[in-house]
Amino acid sequence: MTEPKIDLLCIGEPLGEFNATRGEAGAFQFGHGGDTSNCAVAAARQGASVAYAGALGDDSAGRSLRGLWQREGVDDRHVSTHPSAPTGLYFVDHGPSGHVFSYLRAGSAASLYGPRDLPRDLIRSARIVQASGISQAISASACDAVFEAFATAREAGVLTAYDTNLRLKLWPLTRARAIIHAACAMSDIVLPGLDDATQLTGLNSPDAIVDFYLGLGARVVALTLGHEGSLVATPVRRERLVPIKVEAIDATGAGDCYDGAFLSEYIRTGDAFAAGAYANVAAALSTQGYGAVAPLPRRADVEARMALEAKVAR
């Protein structure tokens, strides 16, 4: 079956989220998460046409996630519902040193996803296929699915994008390095965070880190630097992009927001540096509320803040 052309296909692990609220002790607010799902929603809110591939449990968290995608305009036709395996869950606590995550994901529906489940026609119809280190860490079959998806995309001339998200509770560093480096070598766009990239590469300098990923063959590397913005590089140019100032409350999904905003803007403009500047603003705005999804800004919000920043700069 021929699939209609789409901007972005995200592959990975959707999660139900329980985010601790300030006020009543032990109170949590239900929401949605999973790094590639957050990326998909962030991109859709910027106006990109987006689809998601993965698996959910036949449970309330799974139904809620499917409802989220449908409200946000994310095509969920290639997300299967497993009859017995659950949707994964995670909990976010907010401590003095930042947020702390706890997960209930063993045996989840997403972890049973494998190469046989891939929507190959949809992969070939996308402009970019995106996955992450977490997409591969949850199981061997999910790991293989990402490699197979990227191979299919590259054979069809479709761009691939990879966030190196590192979760050492899911796999040891030696295996994570081997798998993530191999995936990055199949990626046109690499989206690492500084802390994860430092552990994965053994390098401390942002410039050295982007050189490492460019050396693996990436066309574009967008290295996020937390409150210091991001460093965007191609083989012939690099630029340090300064952040905007916001009153940050919860940075749970900021990196995923950066990914979705970057990829949607890169698809729209073909300019990695314009995409990085745009994603910087979107990610900062996403920290002004609780949860991974609810605070994700829409294009109008990002463009309004960019216009304000430009006016102040003048």
- The architecture in CATH of the region 6-313 reads 3-Layer(aba) Sandwich (3.40)
Name beta bridge partners: 102. Answer: 91
| pLDDT, mean of each 10-residue run, the chain (314 residues) | 89 94 74 96 99 98 98 98 96 76 92 98 99 98 99 99 96 98 99 98 98 99 96 98 90 94 99 98 94 94 95 80
CB 263 within 8 A of CB 243: no
Helices 272-285, 299-313: crossing angle, 10 deg rounding: 100
Tokens encoding 253: 């999904």
The pLDDT of residue 23: 59
Q: Is 309 exposed, middle or buried (0-12, 13-18, 19+ CB in 10 A)?
A: middle
Tokens encoding 146: 């990402």
What are the phi and psi torsion angles at 106 (to 5°)? -60, 130
The residues spanned by each domain of the chain are 6-313
The pLDDT of residue 290: 85
Q: Provide the CB-side half-sphere exposure for 131 (13 A, CA).
A: 34
The pLDDT of residue 291: 86
The pLDDT of residue 219: 98
Secondary structure of residue 205 in the 3-state scheme: coil
Cα distances (angstroms) measured from residue 23 to each of 26, 227, 293: 9, 26, 21
Whole-number Å distance between alpha carbons of 176 and 244: 32
Whole-number Å distance between alpha carbons of 160 and 190: 9
Tokens encoding 16: 């139900």
pTM: 0.95
The pLDDT of residue 99: 73
Helices (H), the chain: 35-45, 60-72, 120-125, 133-137, 140-155, 173-184, 194-201, 206-215, 254-269, 272-285, 299-313
Whole-number Å distance between alpha carbons of 7 and 15: 23
Cα distances (angstroms) measured from residue 21 to each of 91, 93, 231, 242, 257: 11, 8, 33, 30, 21
Q: Is 174 exposed, middle or buried (0-12, 13-18, 19+ CB in 10 A)?
A: exposed
Residue 293: in which H helix or E strand, if any? none
Tokens encoding 246: 């916001």
